[in-house]
Amino acid sequence: MSSSDGIDVSTPKPTGMTYAAAGVDIEAGDAVVDRIKPVLKRTHGPRVMGLHGAFAGMFRLDYNESLFKRNYKDPVLVACTDGVGTKVMLAIEMGRLDTIGIDCVAMNVNDLIVQGAEPLFFLDYLGLSKVDPADTADIIASVARGCEISGCALIGGECAEMPDIYKPGDFDVAGFAVGVVELKRATDPTRIEPGDAVLGLASSGVHSNGYTLVRKIIAEKGLDLAATYPELESDRTLGELLLEPTRIYAKSIVALLRGYTVKKVVTGMAHITGGGLPGNLNRALPADVDALVDRSSWTVPPLFDFLRKHGDVAAEEMDRVFNMGVGYCLVVRPTFADAVARKLEKSGETVFRMGEIVAGSGVVRYG
């Protein structure tokens, strides 16, 4: 391109070393930002402020009564961060990138609601070898889908292209969630006492823990991710079952807690992740009680028995690594246990009456 006086004013092509030649494509990153704009907007409510692509997201907490249903009088912010672990390697192997972000959101918000908090907003971090705009947008879209399921806003994140750290095709995804709880409504484990009932909510599968062991079983036993197995009692392939996203319990739990504005019928909660029931339900207990759990109160999904048999994994190890079909637990006052179960079932949860709280030393026991 030339000006009217014949002077060349076109943008010169870069000479010498460039960022793109070194492995980082800024234009591809910009393309991702453009692709995900409408996806992010779907997660935004009137509390979200600021522009898409800003340096930081803004979220209004002390909000206007004329715009919102209620104000927090003594708000406590609750925050957590987590990732998906090596389940991403299974997603990469199967070429399925449209669910893994749901797992990322779930692992965070399921922890957050244990404190009695309402999820407010979420930020994601995606580190990868190369930004492919379509694939990267799929991952972020699945994060946004998790936020929609959770009822929280995706207000920002980071997409880092690092070919020197990640092998071609590799990526990792992690997230950071913030919620809020009214101080007097926050979970208080010291209120748990003998006689309280333990309720369990069904998991959607393996969720996002134990995948290093899962992948080792698959590799060493020559299992086919694309195959269906009669033992799994499903027409879905092994890979599809293993990639089933972590169930998000946020809306069910938030709705339940909002239904009890005076009485605090829920005395404790636990997100069942790595460590299983023995390593997570115990975290909700004070030091002078135990949770006595009846194994016959729920049916362990076939997928777990499939992994146990093919991997020759001891039953104690299965309990210690996997959720075994129970993804979330609540401790409730016994006179309200049936009512709480009904409310959760109306929200779409499968509920198990798993046991009760007894005098003890802060551990989970099977009876």
Domain residue extents for the chain = 24-53+70-185, 189-366
Judged on CB neighbours under 10 Å (0-12, 13-18, 19+), 125 is: middle
Using CA of residue 60, residue 66, residue 67, residue 71, what is the dihedral sign?
positive
Of 355, 117, 140, 121, nearest to 249 (Cα)? 117
Measure the CA–CA gap between 78 and 117, rounded to whole angstroms.
7
| pLDDT score, position 45 | 76
- Tell me the CATH architecture of domain 24-53+70-185: 2-Layer Sandwich (3.30)
24 sits in the region (left: phi over 0; alpha: psi -120 to 50; else beta) called beta
Judge whether 171 and 126 are in contact, CB under 8 Å.
yes
Of 118, 135, 122, 123, nearest to 29 (Cα)? 135
Judged on CB neighbours under 10 Å (0-12, 13-18, 19+), 243 is: buried
Both tokens of 13, joined, read 């092509």
Pairing of strands 289-293, 364-366: parallel
Q: Write the single-letter amino acid at 299.
A: T
Helix H or strand E segment including 271: strand 266-271
Whole-structure pTM value: 0.87
Of 363, 162, 205, 192, nearest to 266 (Cα)? 192
Q: How would you write the pLDDT of the chain (367 residues) with one tens digit per residue? A: 444 455 555 555 656 665 565 565 556 656 656 666 676 677 777 777 666 566 676 777 765 555 445 567 888 899 999 999 999 999 999 999 999 999 999 999 999 999 999 999 999 999 999 989 889 999 999 999 999 999 999 998 888 999 999 999 999 999 999 999 998 999 998 999 999 999 999 999 999 999 999 999 999 999 999 999 999 999 999 999 999 999 999 999 999 999 998 889 999 999 999 999 999 999 999 999 999 999 999 999 999 999 999 999 999 999 999 999 999 999 999 999 999 999 999 999 999 999 999 999 999 999 8
- The CATH superfamily of 189-366 is PurM-like C-terminal domain (3.90.650.10)
Q: What's the chain's Rg over C-alpha atoms?
A: 24
Residue linked to tokens 């002390």:
62
